[in-house]
Structure 1
């Protein structure tokens, strides 16, 4: 009797495992890149909790590599159930073309297709009905929050002009351009701040370091440095320190992301304005797909395309708390609590960084 029960349970769970919902994520970053590795960790925690079989393919910052990975995935004999992709370097339309007519669902994260691209592709569930949705963070607000906080701090107890150098990410990445728009909004509100030059650091510490070596002597009165991610902030910081100046004192820095290194820099005061939160986005996207798999279409609960308010300024206390949560198994979260299953009175999702700051 016990043997029969064991065999029944073995077959049952084996069958469930064989039919686990499969997801492939085309990660555009490098497999050694702190942000994208952290992004994957959070996504994997959600996948483990929600019962997804997740495969992450790193593009290593090479768009052609990402497109080749998309081709191989979509030409395989056994297709995954879902393919998640980022419109990095405007790769989205080609990925959609490759997936046209395939029995697979697509979902875009982090960078949505631009308006110009959508004139040809249509939006989700239009010309490509298997492209079921998208989720992006509030990148414009992220750029704005960093800049505003920097400018307010720099203006305290001073008069006259405040000189600014800015390190943007990549001209071809929509998220980067949107963050720049946030910087411009803050500049319009703070006329004393003068943008001396903005360069594209390609998200790279080394490139920003080399650029800052040229810019800092050119603009010796620089008081604030706005950087669209943490790696570029650290590169510029290194160049500043080589000029025997102190980050957070002689020059105020902003940064974006939540690596352990940048959280510690915020705690130590070397970073004056830190914004983070979008490393959670891939995990939240899997929450939507879990409901979709169960017959709860997220389109009817907040929309098929959504911008999630994930970015927020982090003070010293919040930086410490987030560092602690990152060290916990599965980030200490029960991802099922964020689904709508078994919650008939809830009409929309509640995704925010607050879940990790409690």
Structure 2
């Protein structure tokens, strides 16, 4: 009887998943204003603060009601936050997934509830929930290309000879996965470029500093650092200086995000370069929702264009950074 119950539960779960994945996307009526949810993953760094402000500012400009939630770095809380939005019967949901796999089922739940959902910034597991089919669209940067561009700059800067410490983003998040892969795929062609250590710093300055303190002691031979975001790079600079190293002189750093403090570090000669990851989603996200409601065809992937900052343009671009 117990085995039969388990089998029936498995069949039910499979049927539920199949129903969620089948059928058309939920419709959205054209209205002068909308009541929408924005489910943020955390608010512990300048990038997240800038992204949230962009969404809030645009909602205010349009006169929309924006229900904001902060998962505080917890995928489980974010699932609960989205469920709360579904229960409130909002018009639409904007989700920045903390991690890919834990947030995928809730995307399908929103579809079953008839609420259009837009995945922004980070992706979910698209082998299970597909953009244009199970949610309206993904809006964000090309994380793989960000990693590739960082690698391309580092290879040129070091003339193809470097021993790299890699500070990875939050484990299981799409930017960490794709930035690692884009970087690794590019440097594979250069035998003089080696990653000697790789560890997560969870996208935070303090953890980046702590991880770098340990890794530079274990790998004093390192000549370069690749950080998945600026906050970890800035933490790494502090740790390196404490260890007696000279960032920008005896060790080369490259990172991703393009925040103002990183551009200041480039101007100071400590950070070599940063690939922008544009956090200003508000205008594009809400316009995409309006276009969807109007019946316009929405591409399943809307990719932001990101700039590149180094010593040649950091000073000129400083005021346009977040």
CA distance in 2, matches of 1:53, 1:100: 21
Match of 2:306 among 303, 306, 311: 311
In structure 1, what is the equivalent of residue 164 of structure 2? 164
In structure 1, what is the equivalent of residue 178 of structure 2? 178
Q: Is the CA contact 1:146–1:313 (under 8 Å) kept in the aligned structure 2?
A: no
In structure 2, what is the equivalent of residue 297 of structure 1? 296
What SS does the aligned partner of 1:289 have? helix
Is residue 109 from structure 1 mapped to residue 113 from structure 2 by the alignment?
A: no
In structure 2, what is the equivalent of residue 132 of structure 1? 136
1:171-227: CA deviation from partner (whole Å, max 9, x where unpaired): 311221111111112212322111111111111222222221221122212111000
State TM-score, norm by structure 2: 0.82
Is residue 82 from structure 1 mapped to residue 92 from structure 2 by the alignment?
A: yes
In structure 1, what is the equivalent of residue 8 of structure 2? none
1:96-120: CA deviation from partner (whole Å, max 9, x where unpaired): 243243242111112223244x1xx
The runs of 4+ residues in structure 1 deviating greater than 6 Å are none
CA distance in 1, matches of 2:86, 2:56: 22
Match of 1:62 among 74, 87, 102: 74
CA distance in 2, matches of 1:48, 1:322: 27
Point out where structure 1 has 5 or more consecutive residues left out of the alignment: 1-17, 328-358
In structure 1, what is the equivalent of residue 15 of structure 2? none
Aligned in 2, Cα 1:171/1:98: closer, same or farther, shift over 3 Å?
Answer: same
Is residue 25 from structure 1 mapped to residue 38 from structure 2 by the alignment?
A: yes
Q: Is the CA contact 1:288–1:298 (under 8 Å) kept in the aligned structure 2?
A: no
What SS does the aligned partner of 1:202 have? coil
CA distance in 2, matches of 1:326, 1:216: 30
In structure 1, what is the equivalent of residue 146 of structure 2? 142
In structure 2, what is the equivalent of residue 219 of structure 1? 219
Q: How does 1:2-17 map to 2 (within 5 A)?
A: none
Is residue 72 from structure 1 mapped to residue 84 from structure 2 by the alignment?
A: yes
In structure 2, what is the equivalent of residue 324 of structure 1? 319
Aligned in 2, Cα 1:229/1:326: closer, same or farther, shift over 3 Å?
Answer: closer
Q: Is the CA contact 2:104–2:125 (under 8 Å) kept in the aligned structure 1?
A: no
1:249-288: CA deviation from partner (whole Å, max 9, x where unpaired): 1111112113321121122221102111331245422221
In structure 2, what is the equivalent of residue 273 of structure 1? 273
Aligned residues: 291
Q: Please tell me the root mean square deviation across aligned C-alpha atoms, in Å.
A: 2.3
Aligned in 2, Cα 1:322/1:94: closer, same or farther, shift over 3 Å?
Answer: farther
Q: How does 1:25-64 map to 2 (within 5 A)?
A: 25-30=38-43, 32-64=44-76
Q: Is the CA contact 1:141–1:311 (under 8 Å) kept in the aligned structure 2?
A: no
Deviation, 1:162, is: 2.2
Q: How does 1:185-204 map to 2 (within 5 A)?
A: 185-204=185-204
CA distance in 1, matches of 2:39, 2:279: 15
